[in-house]
Chains A and B, each alone.
Chain A
Amino acid sequence: MASYDKTEIADLIDGSMPWPSTRAIMSAHKDDDRFDKYLSILQERVPWHHPILLPIGEHLYIVQSGENRIVKCDCGHEFGSYQDNWKNQALIRVRGDRESIAEIYPGRYTCDPEWMELREFICPGCVTLLEVEAAPPGFPIVFDFLPDLEGFYEDWLGKSLPQEA
């Protein structure tokens, strides 16, 4: 079975590994110890100590915080229970008129604001753009991912969910 050093995984997930090596990893059988190394790399990078249970975005993680499992940004901002949509606790910038859409999509590239608006979900802590939705006005916000954490850890990984130390 394939297995890679933590430094290799770090380069790979950061997009800084040279393409021939990346390509070789993409073409090979997957390394089954990836998840542990991945979590360990991410855990070392964040400035807080809640155990990461599952990454769900570029900056977002489900973490164990005391008795609770919450969504947390790497900047430390907390978005509440992972069973609720983190977007509801974010800042939103809606581009719903021609002028604000044109800042990103000028002239002939624009969508019609009557048919589609852009919703930028922003972290209140670090102001990172976490997700962009393009949807008709009135379309409910999407809850992207509700993982089955118990099934994942217990059935698939064969271990219990990490607890806060």
Chain B
Amino acid sequence: MTATPITEPQSVTTLHERLLESERLLKETDSYAGLENLELRAADPLKYESMHTKLRSMVVSAREMARRISASPGVREVGESVVAIYTPEGDAIALSTGIMVHVHTASRFIKWMIQNGYEESPGIRPGDIFANNDAFIGTVQAPDVIITIPIFHEDELIGWVAAVAHELEVGGITPGGDVALSQERYTEGLMVCAEKVGYDDELRRDYLIRLERNLRMPIYWVLDDKAKVAACLEVRKQVRELIDEVGLDYYKRATKEFIEEGRRAQLARVRQLTVPGRYRGHTFFGHVTEGKQGVLPQGNRNWLYAIPMEMEVTRQGKLSLDFDGTNSWGYHSMNCTPAGMDGGMFVTLTQHMNFDGKVNDGAWLATDMNLPLGTWTNPDKETVATATSWALLLPAFGCFQRMLSRGFLGRGYKEEVFVGQVNSPMMEMGGESQYGGDFGIALFECAAAGSGALGIKDGLDTAYVGWNPESDMGNMEIWEQDMPMVYLGRTISPNSGGFGRYRGGSGFESLWAVTNTELLIPATSEHSSRVFDNAGMCGGYPAPTVQLHHSVKDAGIEQRAAERKPLPHSIGDNPYESDIERLTDGQTKIDEGPYLAEPLQSGDLFAHSYNGGGGYGDPLERDAGSIARDVANGYVTADAAENVYGVVVESNDNTSTVNAEATQSRRRNIHDERLANALPVSEWIEQTRSRVADGDFAPEVREMYRDSMELSPRFAGEFRNFWSLPSDYEIAKRSRR
């Protein structure tokens, strides 16, 4: 059959008008592009599905091809890229695997150009190449560089293809991509603000010169951009071939139907997997930077972030998230733009609801978010830094996963219950490379944290991050080629997964010896201090995500090796004294919060840890045999097995076995200790009330409450109500002098 052409009013001629028209249709008809029926799908489902499969295979194969020609280990080794096809208005139709968080951020970028008159100036013509890494236009953080090209059919712009890669170096105040020390936009590195960076299918020479002169390691960004352009051109060619095959009218109508089908599928999936109602949760993040080297005066403090969240599922199946009550943006790098929040929502939906069928922007259209202006989720100033948005974004969307999981649990889909994603702290560095000359890199082995537990099994060990479900830590030997450090070890961190009937997945830790350099500047980010930035569920405990850095000057490794003394290979399983302290000659320095401290040089040691995920269910219900296996494999120490799980494991060289009698008695003890130390909640509230009334909290905690209460009357009301405080109760602002 011939497709019913999408009838566009005669007056709709420019892209801008088409975008407005598309928004109007969605608003007025409540369906994408005003589509009432999925006509093509009904008429010939095989043809329709076949076209979708073709589009999807185009983007998947283009991404793989780009990985083969790209230079940066971020893209090549750990797959930090994604490719997607868009409608002329910038709505995603089909996307590849990879960092799917960016499918929707690229959508924002395309729409932004249309809204800002790019059709007139600088013009959108066949062969043009546009780039953006400005989070307020449409990306998460400066290293997420998006390349997009228009697809023309004769004279008509009929779509876009975009490719995104996370760059390992952006030329900011500290080396790497997630510029840890940036506190304002002006220190985040090289910004490309929806710029026309090429024409006639070639990147402009002056753009490449700008990259070469402003980055510590331009080769990564330059070659990744070329790979992204190649991927886009390949997809453009194949889309044109597809249009020759199916006809332009069919292509236009079918791509709109894909999105509308995605939107309807999302609503149906919510109704299928969850329960309508109000869900709540929270998470917190501690950022300790007061007095650190290089911190600007306006941000010279510690921050405690509260992220209370509410999710509403309506009877229609519409899912909305509300961040009311969270804290203000600040002079640090952890702020997020609405584009980044969209990205977090989108990538989470693709993993839990929108993982089969038509994965596209339709799912996003069926959801809603309240991002209060002035908070870290929606800063009221576009000069704030967003270089480490993930720090707050990942814990927030981990909480979203727990709220969704409460719905899955209600429906009996326990295999989908997931305690959620966690931050995976980033290790970046620069200085003088082992080859001589400057260098800078993000060591992307962080793309393989532990996941939260599932409702029916343990979390994944060192194999999951929320932003890229195809997680990979990359080979040590590859990373060693790109930095003046060698691994002394890369090890599962014992007890790093939250305890529970099903334990959270384990994180890992790396220990390096610095070699062949006089100047190594590490900079780390996205690790919470003093508070766990994740949670357990149904009786499971949070993972202990308060990472410290161990560094040693002149550790004497060469000398110790020559003398055949034992060397440290990890931080070790003694929580009170690390192997680094025990097995090196120099003084071990332990740093809390982002590592913004003395540079290192040959002969020094440095250790960095990645997080595990939260646990599920009461740990006393964990099967004792699983704990013996955890102890044998180094996931859990014998001490934790006994103290938390109440399982006494006896190990010799080859085996770990459960002492059943001692276990029974220890589990009985834990049961008794629970009763002995617990009291009714009402009594606890009564006892705690005066402390709250007096505001007897650490300064950072007081400031967190003051700020949340000032920003959110609802939060303030609920806080006063919970503690039965007078209606004029407030917490005074701390003087900055």
Contacts and interface: CB of A to CB of B under 8 A. Distances in A.
Contacts, number: 228
A12 B456 contact: yes
Contacts of A127: 671, 674-675
A106 B677 CA distance: 19
A107 B409 contact: no
B705 A138 contact: yes
Contacts of B542: 132, 134
Nearest to A136: B701
Specify the main secondary structure of chain A where it touches its partner.
mixed
Contacts of B644: 103-104
Nearest to B701: A136
B712 interface: no
A64 to B, nearest CB: 16
Nearest to B637: A106
A54 interface: yes
A138 to B, nearest CB: 5
A58 B722 contact: no
B272 A32 contact: yes
Specify the main secondary structure of chain B where it touches its partner.
mixed
Given A15-B456, A107-B575, A136-B531, A130 B538 contact: yes
Given A34-B413, A109-B544, A93 B280 contact: no
B304 A115 contact: yes
B535 A140 contact: no
Interface in A20-42: 22, 25-26, 29-30, 32, 34-35, 37-39
Interface string A1-28: 0000000010011110101001001100
Interface string A67-105: 000000000000000000001111111100000100111
Contact of B678 (A9, A30, A93): A93
Contacts of A103: 643-644
Measured as residues with beta carbon below 8 angstroms from the partner, the interface class of chain B is 35 or more
B572 to A, nearest CB: 10
Contacts of A122: 674-675, 678
Interface in A105-164: 105-112, 114-116, 118, 120-122, 124, 127-149, 151-152, 155-156
Interface in B521-554: 530-532, 535-542, 544, 546, 548
Nearest to B496: A109
Given A109-B546, A122-B678, A140 B723 contact: yes
A148 B312 CA distance: 10
A115 B674 contact: no
Contacts of A152: 275-277
Contacts of B618: 58, 128-130
Contacts of B620: 128-129
Interface string A35-65: 1011100000000000000111110000000
28 contacts: A19-B457, A30-B272, A89-B681, A91-B679, A94-B684, A103-B644, A104-B499, A107-B574, A108-B578, A109-B495, A109-B546, A109-B575, A111-B531, A111-B544, A112-B286, A120-B674, A127-B675, A129-B674, A130-B538, A136-B701, A139-B282, A141-B681, A142-B282, A145-B277, A145-B410, A151-B276, A151-B277, A155-B276
Interface of B: 271-273, 275-282, 284, 286, 304, 306, 308, 313, 315, 356, 406, 409-416, 455-457, 495, 499, 501-502, 530-532, 535-542, 544, 546, 548, 574-576, 578, 590, 617-621, 639, 643-644, 671, 674-675, 677-682, 684, 688, 691-692, 697-698, 700-701, 704-705, 718-719, 722-723
Given A58-B501, A92-B684, A111-B531, 15 more contacts: A13-B412, A55-B409, A56-B409, A58-B617, A104-B643, A108-B548, A108-B575, A111-B530, A112-B546, A120-B674, A130-B539, A137-B701, A139-B306, A140-B723, A155-B276
